[in-house]
């Protein structure tokens, strides 16, 4: 397994080394337009991109609310539990119930 992980890391690092370095010019610093966004706006696809982003963020919000409700329900159940910390005896250990079994010996 370890050899497979090492080979995977090596393979991933080779793709990083295969990229050519591009020189940054003064024209790149002066560029204030983003051609991809302009093209999306011109084609009307920017609304698809915005819609997908809204869907993803909405899904994350719904997921967070569901988790919050579940956590609140669990906290409420633990608050009614007899072994809650503020109901423990002074020594901090819960009381053992007698089982009623007879010890033969």
77 domain residue, yes or no: yes
Half-sphere exposure of 63 (CA within 13 A, CB side): 6
What pLDDT, in 10s, does the model give residues 7-59?
887 777 666 655 677 787 887 777 777 777 788 888 888 889 899 999 999 99
87: its two tokens = 């109901």
- Number of separate domains in the chain: 1
What pLDDT, in 10s, does the model give residues 63-86?
999 999 999 999 888 887 665 555
75 domain residue, yes or no: yes
Higher pLDDT, 78 or 88: 78
60 domain residue, yes or no: yes
Enclosing H/E stretch for 39: helix 35-43
Query: Under 8 Å CB-to-CB from 88, ≥6 apart: which residues?
Result: 94
**Full domain range(s) for residue 72:** 56-83
70 domain residue, yes or no: yes
Read off the pTM: 0.45
Find the radius of gyration of the CA atoms of the chain. Answer: 31
């Amino acid at each position: 397994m370890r050899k497979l992980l090492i080979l995977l890391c090596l393979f991933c690092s080779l793709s990083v080394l295969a990229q050519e370095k591009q020189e940054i010019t003064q024209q790149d610093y002066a560029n204030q337009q983003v051609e991809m966004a302009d093209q999306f706006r011109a084609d009307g696809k920017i609304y698809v991109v915005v819609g997908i982003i809204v869907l993803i963020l909405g899904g994350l919000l719904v997921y967070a609310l569901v988790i919050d409700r579940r956590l609140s329900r669990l906290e409420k159940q633990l608050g009614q539990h007899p072994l809650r910390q503020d109901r423990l005896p002074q020594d901090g250990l819960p009381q053992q119930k007698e089982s009623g079994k007879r010890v033969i010996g």
